[in-house]
Amino acid sequence: MSEVDNAELDRMLSQAFDAASKLYKERGFQRRVGFGKKPALVSVDLANAWTRPGNPFTCDQDKMDNEIIPGMQRLLEACRANGHPVIHVTTAYEITDRNAPFTDMGLWHDKIPVDVVDLADEELWAIDSRIAPVKGEYTLLKKRASSFHGTELAGILRANGVDTILVTGVTACACVRQTICDGIADGFRTIAVKEAIGDRVPGAVAWNLFDIDAKFGDVETVDTCVDYLNNVAGKQAAAE
């Protein structure tokens, strides 16, 4: 889309959000879940198949290179400096033959090309080198949209006393959204980090963040989240 088209789309979405906000507020939506005492960063599918060009799953490269990756770098710096857990989530499949009698793709390959993310090709599902995991961080392999569905994520978070998850990654309309929905359903304070979430489709990020903020979590900026990560340990110690 051209810059003019994007500007018109932004204008139309803004009008729709204003009208929807009024309805939501009248009906008791858009409440705040807030930040808790023990955060973790959950980064969803910021692997090469999504962050680099040339793949069916490739997301908006301008936003990826100029907002999402720099935002993630700031969040990682704050987590690493303060000892907050980081979980890098990626997706890949071991049996990618669509005609195989048994596969770990479920029926998702009948809708989208998950068969291209082959577990045998580590470069595809490896976390982007610009935000690569360091020692002490966990990389979780999922098979479904949600990072919680059929994985050990909730158990790992609870075992480490985590009550707040800062969620980043792609895509806003699918894996990020489903992770946030399952996160709040499982009892975690869910924070969507505004500038560190992307998609392939124009308008998908804005709409999904608006709707998430109304129903499933709080949308907060990178600046706000970094400030929280840098100060939450001190606030917790003062409270104790």
- Which residues carry out catalysis? 175
Least Cα distance to 63 among 175, 167, 197, 210 occurs for 197
3-state helix, strand, coil split of the chain in percent (to 5) is 45, 15, 35
Least Cα distance to 88 among 119, 53, 57, 134 occurs for 134
Q: Report which residue type is found at 228.
A: Y
Least Cα distance to 222 among 109, 70, 23 occurs for 70
- What is the C-alpha to C-alpha distance for residues 223 and 147, in angstroms, rounded to an integer? 25
As a whole number of Å, the end-to-end CA separation of the chain is: 53
Tokens of 181: 């929905």
